Amino acid sequence: MTGIAWTDVAVGDELPGQTFPIERVDLIRYAGASGDFNVIHWNERVATSVGLPDVIAHGMLTMALAIRVVTDWVGDPGALVEYGVRFTRPVVVPDDGHGATLAVSAKVTAKNDDGTVVVALTASSEGSTVLGRATATVRLA
């Protein structure tokens, strides 16, 4: 059970936003952990040959980083009931020593009678929204 009481949350409450740096080494680590070795995530030549601006982050890595705003707020990843997104743009990760930054904000958009709340997330990188219709439902105490 979470430490946040359902009675203490209101529609419109904003969760603390976070930013996540993403470098090429993170893509290599994620590929090893996930088994997703698609070359567009590590080879610039191949990525650009298929029309991408550069190497891009794995979509599931982007999703995982974004939901941390919610799970960190709740304090219990097990409180997550449902999570879904639409991928609107890739997170481009240049090999420039800085990589990319994923900025995530979130707001409570619904409070359900069953002790859950719905949170809408906004995720962007370099000024462009990268996840659309990103919503999570979490069960509170």
pLDDT tens digits for range 113-124? 999 999 999 999
In a domain, 77, yes or no: yes
pTM of the model: 0.94
In a domain, 52, yes or no: no
Say which residues have a Cβ less than 8 Å from residue 25's Cβ, sequence separation at least 6.
none
In a domain, 12, yes or no: yes
The Cα 110–Cα 10 span in angstroms is 8
Distances (CA, A) of 64 to 26, 55, 57, 131: 13, 18, 11, 12
What phi and psi, each to the nearest 5 degrees, are found at residue 74? -70, -35
In a domain, 64, yes or no: yes
pLDDT, tens only, 7-41: 999 999 999 999 999 999 999 999 999 999 999 99
In a domain, 111, yes or no: yes
In a domain, 116, yes or no: yes
What is the residue range of 79's domain?
6-22+57-139
pLDDT of residue 3: 81
The Cα 108–Cα 101 span in angstroms is 24
Tokens representing residue 115 in the block = 């002790």
The total of structural domains in the chain comes to 1
- Give the CATH number, domain containing residue 83: 3.10.129.10
In a domain, 48, yes or no: no
pLDDT, tens only, 51-90: 999 999 999 999 999 999 999 999 999 999 999 999 999 9
**DSSP one-letter code for 118:** E
In a domain, 117, yes or no: yes
